[in-house]
């Protein structure tokens, strides 16, 4: 009797980014994608957010492969970190394969097993058989994946749109999708990023035309910020620059590395002498310059943010410069991007975004009519929307029911949920651990909420340190406590307030029921009394750190 199929989202459901999903049958686990997520504004000091792969490490002997759908960071960016924990083969379409190689070299990952596949490739992993099929997205070589198991056929769309004039000339393979649908599909997992948007997503050809006009009409330099993996967008910039007699330079390590790889491997076509370094480009008149740079999401350390803050030694914004942000703001990044736009405008640049100039970027995700077409072609028995925040998943679920999928057969999952299904039925079972793993400099850790809460407290109200001199033998307070603060109150007010705070600490330490030899008891009593006093006086709640000093 066949086992049930288990669908286990590790990341990407209930959020935008860090896409990672497991399909299990019997003793075999196949993982689809391994992406990262950019930190939200309240994740202070965090560089990247990764999926928690503890479920996979606990079942490492069953993990057969990681199948990559395309080369964007939200589908591949976690691989350097995953490979430190899991020795598992990776399969990826051609451009994604080469982008992954660049990333693994940057992270100094020494040994790994990376295989190139393409639309039409078939792979066997025990009882799970995979087939790649072509979809259109905002990056060349994007694919979806069909997984055949003894319990039924599963189709995962990857990120897709229905674009009949894509930049790479490879539209979504509607014929193959219809053929899969005619086989009988047990489950469809489909991209939900634009499930709230009516109609159809515009074609990539719109961007080529818009960038051509921008580069033709700009009176000075043109700076174009986009994702380093958006190779098709870089080609559109190169084509327009060639047409209008401009040269192009790159800024940002990932942009330089990815474009150099893409030129070397034939994904990008640039005439000899077209791509210059920044120093060589700077010798040309401004009206002959185009710079393609990273930072389209307003990342604090990115090239664009540094340029906006006048903190980049190679690029300084001038009047008559035109800056194009060719990307859609990831949810949560809108405020940061607005600050970057403000700073660039303050320095005299004309800034074009998708909001002000819609043609400079179009999404790579299908809107409602495209999602309904996918549902009608595949005709699944069960449906799970993937890739999106909860409201996006819910909107996609509604679309599925509009295409006559029974409401009882539509499941909205979030990270860690587990869906078991077969021909007999489908049900949610015991969830697994899934959450965020934070990258902070050279560290990765999954205890983030407590640390982030402390960071938010420090950023909001500062901290107060109480040094309490204590007699080593008796545990009694010896002399006056010393209180210092930072980021809490203005220096002019601090001295008088800290004197009164010291009196509160002394009173707390003289309480009759205090055990002076119990350090935890002393610390708790001091923090409680001081926190009450400071909130009453300032309506602020600084972090309070107590330091017993034995004398």
Q: What pLDDT is attached to residue 1?
A: 60
pLDDT, one tens digit per residue, over 310-364 is: 999 899 999 999 999 998 887 777 888 899 999 999 999 999 998 888 899 999 9
pLDDT above 70 for 475: no
pLDDT, one tens digit per residue, over 259-282 is: 999 999 999 999 999 999 999 999
Question: CATH class for domain 462-550?
Answer: alpha beta
Got the DSSP string for 118-166? -TT-EEEETTEEEEEEE-B-SSTT-EEEEEEETTEEEEE--S-B--SS-
In the numeric block, the tokens 């080469």 are attached to 98
Name the superfamily (CATH) of residues 205-357.
Metallo-hydrolase/oxidoreductase (3.40.50.10710)
Report which of 318, 88, 105 is spatially closest to residue 222, judged by C-alpha positions.
Answer: 318
| Confidence bin at 95 (pLDDT 50/70/90) | very high
Residue with more model confidence, 496 or 197: 197
pTM, rounded to two decimals: 0.83
pLDDT above 90 for 57: yes
Report which of 144, 159, 140, 293 is spatially closest to residue 231, judged by C-alpha positions.
Answer: 140
Q: How many angstroms separate the CA atoms of 392 and 72, rounded?
A: 20
Quote the tokens at residue 251.
Answer: 């800024």
What residue spans define the domains of the chain? 5-199+363-445, 205-357, 462-550
Enumerate the H helices of 191-333 as residue ranges.
205-217, 231-243, 253-264, 278-281, 303-308
Q: What pLDDT is attached to residue 497?
A: 84
pLDDT, one tens digit per residue, over 151-167 is: 999 999 999 999 998 87
In the numeric block, the tokens 């010393």 are attached to 482
pLDDT, one tens digit per residue, over 513-550 is: 666 556 677 778 888 888 888 888 888 888 888 876 76
In the numeric block, the tokens 């002498």 are attached to 273
Q: What pLDDT is attached to residue 495?
A: 75
223-227, 390-394, 421-425: segment of lowest average pLDDT: 421-425
Q: What pLDDT is attached to residue 542?
A: 83
Q: What pLDDT is attached to residue 444?
A: 61
Question: CATH class for domain 5-199+363-445?
Answer: alpha beta
Got the DSSP string for 111-131? ---EEE--TT-EEEETTEEEE
Report which of 211, 209, 218, 136 is spatially closest to residue 177, judged by C-alpha positions.
Answer: 136
Percentages (nearest 5) of helix, strand, coil residues in the chain:
35, 25, 40
Report which of 369, 373, 379, 370 is spatially closest to residue 179, judged by C-alpha positions.
Answer: 379
Q: What pLDDT is attached to residue 514?
A: 65
- Residue 219 has a CB neighbour count (10 Å cut-off) of 12
CA 238 from chain centre, in angstroms, equals: 27
Cβ neighbourhood burial of 539 (10 Å; 0-12, 13-18, 19+): exposed
For residues 48-60, give the mean pLDDT. 93
Report which of 63, 1, 3, 69 is spatially closest to residue 31, judged by C-alpha positions.
Answer: 63
Sheet of 382-386: strands edge to edge? 122-125, 128-134, 143-149, 152-156, 187-191, 382-386
């Amino acid at each position: 009797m066949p086992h049930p199929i288990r669908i286990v989202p590790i990341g990407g459901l209930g959020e935008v980014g860090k896409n990672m999903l497991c399909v299990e049958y019997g003793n075999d686990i196949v993982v689809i994608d391994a992406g990262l997520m950019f930190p939200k504004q309240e994740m202070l000091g965090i560089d990247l957010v990764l999926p928690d792969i503890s479920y996979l490490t606990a079942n490492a002997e069953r993990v057969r492969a990681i199948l990559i759908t395309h080369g964007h960071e939200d589908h591949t960016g976690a691989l350097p970190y995953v490979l430190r924990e899991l020795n598992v083969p990776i399969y990826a379409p051609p451009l994604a394969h080469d982008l992954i190689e660049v990333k693994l070299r940057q992270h100094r990952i020494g040994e790994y097993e990376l295989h190139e596949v393409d639309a039409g490739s078939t792979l066997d992993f025990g009882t799970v058989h995979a087939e790649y099929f072509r979809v259109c997205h905002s990056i060349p070589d994007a694919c979806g994946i069909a997984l055949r198991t003894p319990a039924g056929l599963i189709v995962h769309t990857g990120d897709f749109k229905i674009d009949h004039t894509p930049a790479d000339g490879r539209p979504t393979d509607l014929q193959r999708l219809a053929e899969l649908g005619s086989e009988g599909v047990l489950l469809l997992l489909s991209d939900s990023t634009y499930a709230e948007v009516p109609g159809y997503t515009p074609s990539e050809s719109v961007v080529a035309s818009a960038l051509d006009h921008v580069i033709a009409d700009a009176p000075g330099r043109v700076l174009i910020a986009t994702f380093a993996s958006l190779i098709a967008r870089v080609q559109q910039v190169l084509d327009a620059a060639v047409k209008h007699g401009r040269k192009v330079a790159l800024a940002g390590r990932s942009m330089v590395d990815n474009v150099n790889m893409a030129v070397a491997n034939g994904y990008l076509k640039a005439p000899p002498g077209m791509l210059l370094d920044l120093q060589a480009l700077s010798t040309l008149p401004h009206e002959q310059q185009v710079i393609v740079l990273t930072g389209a999401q307003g990342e604090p350390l990115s090239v664009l943010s540094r340029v906006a803050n006048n903190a980049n030694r190679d690029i300084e914004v001038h009047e008559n410069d035109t800056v194009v942000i060719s990307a859609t703001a990831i949810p949560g990044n809108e405020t940061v991007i607005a600050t970057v736009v403000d700073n660039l405008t303050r320095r005299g640049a004309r800034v074009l975004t998708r909001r002000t100039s819609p043609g400079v970027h179009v999404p790579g995700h299908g809107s409602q009519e495209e999602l309904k077409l996918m549902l009608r072609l595949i005709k699944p028995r069960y449906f799970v929307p993937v890739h999106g925040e909860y409201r996006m998943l819910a909107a996609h679920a509604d679309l599925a029911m509009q295409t006559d999928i029974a409401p009882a057969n539509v499941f909205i999952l979030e990270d860690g949920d587990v869906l078991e299904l077969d021909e007999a039925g489908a049900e949610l079972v015991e969830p697994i651990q899934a959450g965020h793993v934070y990258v902070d400099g050279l560290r990765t850790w999954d205890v983030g909420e407590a640390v982030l809460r402390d960071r938010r407290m420090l950023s909001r109200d500062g901290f107060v340190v109480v040094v309490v001199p204590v007699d080593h033998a008796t545990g009694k307070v010896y002399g006056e406590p010393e209180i210092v603060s930072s980021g809490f109150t203005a220096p002019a007010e601090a001295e008088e307030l800290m004197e009164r705070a010291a009196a509160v600490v002394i009173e707390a330490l003289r309480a009759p029921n205090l055990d002076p030899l119990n350090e935890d008891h002393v610390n708790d009593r001091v923090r409680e009394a001081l926190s009450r006093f400071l909130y009453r006086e300032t309506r602020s709640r600084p972090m309070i750190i107590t330091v017993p000093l034995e004398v």
